[in-house]
Amino acid sequence: MTEIERLKSLIAQLGFKTQKEFALDMKITDGNLSDILRGRIGISRAFKEKIGFKYNANIEWLEQGLGEPILKKGPAISEAKEGVPYFDITLADFDKFLLEEEKPEYFVNYKPFNDCTAYLPVYGDSMYPKYASGEIIAVREVTNFEVLQWGEAYVVMTDESSNHMRSIKLLYEHADKGKLILRSSNPNFKGDTIIAKSSIQALYIIKGKITRNLI
């Protein structure tokens, strides 16, 4: 079987009666899934990682036909609301106040990160290789902007004075104590961004990341 044929088989094995149901559960458009299944666009790594984490699918089987389609050992997903909520949203849709009202996809009970605020998916390559597209980050809200860990990665949310930024960046100290330096870890994304601390609406330190094979 080809990779596309294995994807079609996996969708059926997961119990989805139609491709539309699968697309809805994956939060992608019918057209996008149709293009993937027809070979018009490739199956991205982020898409595969999401399938692996969400359904405990075996990516090696999907890519090469090795092993079983669905792994026996998976992440500790709790339906009893134990652990930390996972929100399947992009940073562009991420808002501190909306997050409090947003219904999580599920809860992940992973002891090392159970003190975190939320799990979020990574999209884009600006923080590669530290955080790759398709990985899941565990974030914890920071309320004291005077006590920051320089060189660590944060999810930064700003107001209109800093163009409503929603981004993952490494934070560094600025000569002006009222400002911060934001930097990507990917060398292809050159240049620093300077913002005022007063423009920050919310700040979350990234405590770590998980993938489909971690738990």
Interval 61-119: pLDDT, tens: 999 998 889 876 545 666 667 889 998 887 776 665 555 556 788 888 887 788 999 99
Which residues, in sequence order, are CB contacts of 121 under 8 Å at separation 6+? 46, 50, 88, 89, 90, 134, 135, 136, 137
- Read off the pLDDT of residues 172-206 as tens digits, 9 standing for 90 and up: 999 999 999 999 999 999 899 999 999 999 999 99
- Superfamily of 78-210 according to CATH: Umud Fragment, subunit A (2.10.109.10)
Q: What's the Cα-to-Cα distance from 70 to each of 13, 133, 168, rounded to whole Å?
A: 9, 22, 31
For the chain, domain boundaries: 3-64, 78-210
Mean pLDDT of 116-131: 90
> What does pLDDT average to over the chain?
87
Phi, psi at 119, each rounded to 5°: -105, 140
**pLDDT score recorded for residue 152:** 96
Q: Is the pTM of this model over 0.85?
A: no
pLDDT at 78: 61
